[in-house]
């Protein structure tokens, strides 16, 4: 899986793959005991905000008058 991640990570981060396409290539290239939908649900339940990162971006935005945008994963 690590090798497949290395081959596809940059393409995903550049927005050239959807999250589903990335997971198909890295995780679901072989049969798994769960579906992609189940995996996504589990993955998003595990996701937690990092207050320090939010604070950093808030500070950078104010200091440099930046516009901050976020691309949704799915």
In a domain, residue 41? The reply is yes
Burial of residue 22 (CB within 10 Å: 0-12, 13-18, 19+) is: buried
Model pLDDT, residue 68: 81
Confidence label for 61 from pLDDT (cuts 50, 70 and 90): very high
- DSSP secondary structure letter of residue 59: H
* Number of domains the chain is built from: 1
Above 60 in pLDDT, residue 40? yes
Region label for 35, one of left (φ > 0), alpha (ψ between -120 and 50) or beta (otherwise) = beta
CATH number of the domain where residue 7 is located: 1.10.150
Is residue 56 situated within a structural domain?
Answer: yes
Please tell me the predicted confidence (pLDDT) of residue 71: 67
Q: d(Cα 60, Cα 74) in Å, to the nearest integer?
A: 26
Q: What is the pLDDT of residue 29?
A: 95
Taking only the tens place, the pLDDT of each residue in 6-37 is 999 999 999 999 999 999 999 999 999 999 99
């Amino acid at each position: 899986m690590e090798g497949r991640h290395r081959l596809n990570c940059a393409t995903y981060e550049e927005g050239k793959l959807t999250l589903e396409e990335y997971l198909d290539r890295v995780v679901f290239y072989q049969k798994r005991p769960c579906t992609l939908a189940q995996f996504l649900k589990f993955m998003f339940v595990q996701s937690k905000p990092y207050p320090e990162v939010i604070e950093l971006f808030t500070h950078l935005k104010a200091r440099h008058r930046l516009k901050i945008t976020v691309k949704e994963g799915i």
